[in-house]
């Protein structure tokens, strides 16, 4: 097996899908001759022609709307939104039409399409280039939402998303594009709707997805030096969500911290924490905690490191999991301070 980057795996997935299915078309801003700003579509137009991989005007709403029409006509469009927040002009198309078409037509019209969105931070970008928009899509019924954390999953999830009969929002962690793992392509990993245990442990469970999974793994290794045996769950599929694997993992340890890069309020981590609380209450030795980005607009590059979750913040959360059976007084202290 050779070291393969996530970008190479995504490119291979698109290449194989186009080669195997004449209905697959790839389009978006600069995805043709340039190969996309992150070179995910590099070489596809040269290999398959301008009918299978082509550029569009700088109009994200038009890209999404065009994809709706092509999907209704029998194609399997895969569109690229250049950056996370660039997809917001297409949000009305996604929420009002992409997500609702099957339900609106009582199942008569499905939209097998994939919306690829480079998302999250860690590359020294600014707002509009580093937003974590997953909660908007996960909150919209009718969409599947997935995000890989490595090359193997990137390949497998994208191939499955393209073959899916319904629309899939495919969130690609930008800072992981150049991360590598030893993998032989093609590869098939867990299907959409299943989480994966990335590290086994007995004392606490870290739950993460996409860009936060490497951080969770690094934190688990650091926690071992503190004497905590921590396991890591990679959610992979935000919608549908794998309650079975997550619940079983938390029940094994009785302690849980959810890690996400996005702002904390009303985020995906809040939904995960609520579901764990509902399903694992009698197995928990401490409240479910979250580590997230702060509730502010994405900061400028020089302050990015202060905004994003890091190992120290995850270790701080692990330390608050009532190991000595004493209550966590953090919020009691805050209330007294406010008084």
Name the active-site residue from 97, 128, 129, 139: 129
**What is the distance between the alpha carbons of residues 75 and 68, in angstroms, rounded to a whole number?**
10
Query: Which of these, 225, 260, 274, 329, lies nearest to 120 by C-alpha position?
Result: 260
Alpha-carbon torsion (173, 177, 181, 185), positive or negative: positive
Contact assessment for residue 236 and residue 157, using Cβ atoms and an 8 Å cutoff: yes
**What is the distance between the alpha carbons of residues 165 and 113, in angstroms, rounded to a whole number?**
8
The CA-based angle 226-231-235, given to 5 degrees, is 135
**What is the distance between the alpha carbons of residues 8 and 31, in angstroms, rounded to a whole number?**
15
DSSP type of residue 115: E
**What is the distance between the alpha carbons of residues 132 and 269, in angstroms, rounded to a whole number?**
12
129 is catalytic: yes
**What is the distance between the alpha carbons of residues 98 and 74, in angstroms, rounded to a whole number?**
15
> What tokens appear for 111 in the block?
């939209």
The CA-based angle 308-122-201, given to 5 degrees, is 60
- Alpha-helix runs per DSSP H in the chain: 6-20, 44-48, 60-72, 91-93, 101-104, 134-138, 151-163, 213-225, 243-253, 268-280, 304-307, 311-319, 330-338
| DSSP string for 89-100 | GGHHHIIIIITT
Active site amino acids: 129
């Amino acid at each position: 097996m050779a070291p393969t980057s996530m970008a190479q795996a995504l490119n291979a997935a698109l290449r194989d899908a186009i080669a195997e299915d004449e209905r697959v078309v790839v389009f978006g801003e600069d995805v043709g001759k340039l190969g996309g700003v992150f070179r995910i579509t590099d070489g596809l137009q040269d290999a398959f022609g301008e009918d299978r991989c082509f550029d569009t005007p700088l109009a994200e709403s038009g890209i999404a709307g065009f994809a709706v029409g092509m999907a209704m006509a029998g194609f399997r469009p895969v569109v690229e939104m250049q950056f996370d927040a660039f997809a917001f002009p297409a949000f009305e198309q996604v929420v009002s039409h992409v997500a609702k078409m099957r339900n609106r037509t009582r199942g008569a019209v499905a939209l097998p399409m994939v919306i690829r969105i480079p998302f999250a931070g860690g590359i020294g970008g600014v707002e509009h280039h580093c937003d974590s928009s997953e909660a908007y899509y996960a909150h919209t019924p009718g969409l599947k939402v997935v995000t890989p954390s490595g090359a193997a999953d990137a390949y497998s999830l994208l191939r499955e998303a393209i073959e899916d009969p319904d629309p899939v929002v495919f969130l690609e962690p930008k800072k992981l594009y150049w991360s590598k793992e030893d993998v032989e392509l093609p590869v098939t990993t867990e299907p959409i709707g299943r989480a994966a245990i990335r590290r086994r442990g007995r004392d606490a469970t870290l739950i993460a997805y996409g860009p936060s999974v490497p951080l969770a793994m690094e934190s688990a290794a650091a926690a071992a030096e503190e004497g905590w045996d921590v396991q890591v769950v990679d959610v992979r599929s935000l919608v549908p969500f794998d309650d079975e694997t997550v619940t079983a993992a938390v029940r094994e340890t009785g302690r849980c911290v959810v890690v996400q890069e996005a702002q904390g309020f009303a985020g995906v981590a809040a939904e995960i924490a609520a579901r764990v609380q509902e399903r694992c209450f009698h197995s928990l030795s401490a409240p479910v905690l979250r580590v997230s980005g702060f509730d502010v607009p994405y900061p400028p590059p020089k302050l990015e490191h202060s905004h994003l979750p890091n190992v120290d913040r995850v270790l701080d959360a692990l330390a608050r999991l009532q190991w000595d059976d004493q209550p966590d007084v953090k919020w009691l202290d805050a209330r007294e301070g406010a008084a």
